[in-house]
């Protein structure tokens, strides 16, 4: 009798273990990468996505996060998403411009005056067009967040006029509109991955760089740069892109979970980025950077000097899209 009871108990334990193992195997594991330091709002939004997706799915979805370039830089992460090695990436829209040049249309210099205007444009007709282009290449866009207005820093001189850009060796993202803009200002732009940037500034290989205040602060560029401006020459979006095949293999219920979790995560991120911007700029000044405010007159001169960039872009991208972006930006003011 004792042996029989022990056998029955063992059998129950075996069945329970098998069921638990099956449940674990059935859970969808989503690997998600990012390129930002742990304290950046984008990395924290990844945590929000993980918590929401796992909670809403009641454990059917498990999210493994790899922030802070743990799986390589932005270019490597995009390739990993496209191949299906990872499920999704949070990164700047600029890194998609080599494959979807239409993203350059929302990267035009001095296109937006406020984040509210920028998102009115991006959340409207434009995102549908861009998302279709991405889908054709095997991506599904899960949403857009804020990287923010980009500002110039350097260790040569304050930026107080359009002439002050001339001759500066400045690092930019791999976005042709960005590079053309700084060429038009007389600078010497150099495309470089952000992972190499601190060392290049420290060793004086470069004079300066341009990034939102959050990146300048979180990557401690203030340690190797002297001058800071509020040039706000580009507004940069975060694109969250997933592998389309992998996304479509999810059950309909789990796709809804992913969509809802990402919607909440990006809403949180946009709010956090907006709230933190001024404090981060103040932190940079307190850390010793010299801040030079760009006057309306200087901004007008910069806009005039870079006016030809949109016309050049029309040679690479459907002119109708450029005109639509410009008209949408004007309507959103």
Per-residue pLDDT of the chain (333 residues; tens, 9 = 90+): 444 444 454 444 444 444 444 444 568 999 999 999 999 999 999 999 999 999 999 999 999 999 999 999 999 999 999 999 999 999 999 999 999 999 999 999 999 999 999 999 999 999 999 999 999 999 999 999 999 999 999 999 999 999 999 999 999 999 999 999 999 999 999 999 899 999 999 999 999 999 999 999 999 999 999 999 999 999 999 999 999 999 999 999 999 999 999 999 999 999 999 999 999 999 999 999 999 999 999 999 999 999 999 999 999 999 999 999 999 999 999
Which string of b and e fits 116-130 if b means at least 16 CB within 10 Å?
ebbbbbbeeebbebb
Euclidean distance between CA atoms 322 and 333, whole angstroms: 17
Residue from 258, 247, 251 nearest 49 by CA: 258
Q: How far apart are CA 261 and CA 205, in angstroms?
A: 42
Using CA atoms, how far residue 324 sits from 113, 131, 224, 243, in Å, is 17, 16, 40, 28
Beta strands of 119-226 (E only): which ranges?
139-154, 169-172, 188-191, 208-211
Compute how many other C-beta atoms are within 10 angstroms of the C-beta atom of residue 2. 6
CATH architecture of 22-331: 3-Layer(aba) Sandwich (3.40)
- For the stretch 147-187, pLDDT in tens is 999 999 999 999 999 999 999 999 999 999 999 999 999 99
Q: Are 144 and 240 in contact (CB under 8 A)?
A: yes
Paired with 61 in beta bridges are 28
pTM reported for the whole predicted model: 0.91
Residue 16's pLDDT is 45
CA-angle at 66, arms to 53 and 45, nearest 5°: 50
Residue 254 in tokens: 């789990």
């Amino acid at each position: 009798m004792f042996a029989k009871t022990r056998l029955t108990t063992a059998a129950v334990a075996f069945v329970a273990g098998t069921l638990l193992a099956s449940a674990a195997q059935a859970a969808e594991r989503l690997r998600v990468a990012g390129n930002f330091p742990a304290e950046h709002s984008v990395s924290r939004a990844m945590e929000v996505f993980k918590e929401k997706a796992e909670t809403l799915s009641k454990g059917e979805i498990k999210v493994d996060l790899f922030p802070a370039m743990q799986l390589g830089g932005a270019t490597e992460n995009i390739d990993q998403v496209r191949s299906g090695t990872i499920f999704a990436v949070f990164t700047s829209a600029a890194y998609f411009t080599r494959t979807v040049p239409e993203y350059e249309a929302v990267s035009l210099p001095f296109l937006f005056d406020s984040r509210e205007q920028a998102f009115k444009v991006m959340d409207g007709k434009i995102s549908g067009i861009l998302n279709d282009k991405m889908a054709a290449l095997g991506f599904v866009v899960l949403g857009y967040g804020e990287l923010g207005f980009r500002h110039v820093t350097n260790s040569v001189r304050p930026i107080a006029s359009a002439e002050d850009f001339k001759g500066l060796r400045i690092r930019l993202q791999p976005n042709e509109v960005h590079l053309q803009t700084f060429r038009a200002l007389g600078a010497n732009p150099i495309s470089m991955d952000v992972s190499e940037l601190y060392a290049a500034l420290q060793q004086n290989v470069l004079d300066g760089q341009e990034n939102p205040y959050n990146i300048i602060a979180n990557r401690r560029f203030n340690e190797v740069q002297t001058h800071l401006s509020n040039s706000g020459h580009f507004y940069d979006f975060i694109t969250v892109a997933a592998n389309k095949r992998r996304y479509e293999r999810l059950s309909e219920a789990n796709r809804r979970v992913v969509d809802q979790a990402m919607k909440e995560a990006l809403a949180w991120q946009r709010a956090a980025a907006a709230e933190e911007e001024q404090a981060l700029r103040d932190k940079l000044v307190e850390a010793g950077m010299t801040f030079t405010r760009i006057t309306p007159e200087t901004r007008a001169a910069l806009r005039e000097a870079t006016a030809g960039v949109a016309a050049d872009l029309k040679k690479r991208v459907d002119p109708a899209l450029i005109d639509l972006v410009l008209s949408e930006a004007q309507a959103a003011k």
